[in-house]
A and B are shown apart, each in its own frame.
Chain A
Amino acid sequence: MAQWNPFQEMEVLRREIDRIFDSFGLRTGPVFRTAFLPGRAAREYPLCNLYEDKEAVYVEALAPGVDPASLNLTTTRNTLTLSGEKHGLPGEVKSEMLHRNERAAGKFVRSIELPVEVDENKVKADYKNGLLVVTLPKAEKAKAKQISVQVA
């Protein structure tokens, strides 16, 4: 038997309201919309999430359809620069053959400031299922140090 849970109901309501606002174009929330669209391309591309653990910071970029060969990453002490090209339709597709064209394409470059200094020599990048994950190990001096407490 399902219990009536008011908190769950509130959560459902909150999502419904979010969805209504989403459909008005007040897109504050998630996911790739206007990036690349002419005139409205005020958004940065690709959108990035930043993760952190003790050893490293991770940048996850939302970049479906990007040719991995075109990706170019550079790092300095605390900046990561991503550039590359997202391919749209194959070249032979003419506009009169199109039914819908919602995916945008083009070249991009983006710099991200990282919260810590990283070790430039150990940066790794991995592109899978349209997500780019860059692993940036922290520089030795940026790592948290464990300090043991001495009991006198």
Chain B
Amino acid sequence: MAERTIPAPSGQQVATGREITRAQERYVLPVVDIYETPDSLVLMADLPGVSKEDLDVRVDNNVLTIQGKSSHAAPGEAVYREYELVNFFRQFELSERVDQGKIAADLKHGVLTLHLPKTERARPRQIEVRVS
């Protein structure tokens, strides 16, 4: 650590050593399906091993973030492995057409289903043709 000869202004952090900018944990992208219905978008993501408590779904600044921590369910000592459970992380940018206040999430059998309703303006409209 370098010796400081000039006192740092109060309230200001002094960088010591190197910055750590990457998280130590490993993350993978969960696989997703996204489809559209006339009044909403539906996103389905496979999140095996993630319980409701360890799942974090949030919308901030038009960015939808899905983050989950998965954990093994079996006891005992591992003798043979074909997969590791790592954390999940994926972000999507939402368009203005999604009504962000009404997003609904449902986690069942390790699959997260998000319903993203469209705003009133973005929904298809039937226009009636009048015969005069």
Contact = CB atoms under 8 A, between A and B. Distances in A.
Contact of A103 (B28, B31, B74): B31
Q: Top 7 A-B pairs ranked by shortest CB distance?
A: A130-B110, A64-B110, A51-B76, A130-B48, A53-B76, A50-B80, A102-B31
18 contacts: A1-B16, A12-B22, A31-B84, A51-B79, A52-B77, A58-B76, A59-B74, A62-B48, A64-B48, A65-B111, A67-B109, A68-B109, A93-B35, A97-B37, A103-B45, A126-B73, A130-B46, A133-B74
A32 B45 CA distance: 13
Interface of B: 1, 16-18, 20, 22, 24, 26, 28, 31-37, 41, 44-51, 70, 72-86, 109-111
A56 B51 CA distance: 25
B47 A130 contact: yes
Name the residue among A51, A63, A98 with the largest chain B CB count within 10 angstroms.
A51
Name the residue among B33, B51, B86 with the largest chain A CB count within 10 angstroms.
B33
Contacts, number: 139
A93 B48 CA distance: 23
Interface string A90-126: 0001000111111100000000000100000000001
A142 interface: no
Given A58-B74, A130-B111, A49 B35 contact: no
Interface residues of A, number: 47
A63 B48 contact: yes
A15 interface: yes
B49 A131 contact: yes
B60 to A, nearest CB: 21
Interface on chain B toward A: helix, strand, loop, or mixed SS?
loop
B6 to A, nearest CB: 19
A62 B83 contact: yes
A6 interface: no
A65 B33 CA distance: 12
Contacts of B81: 49-50
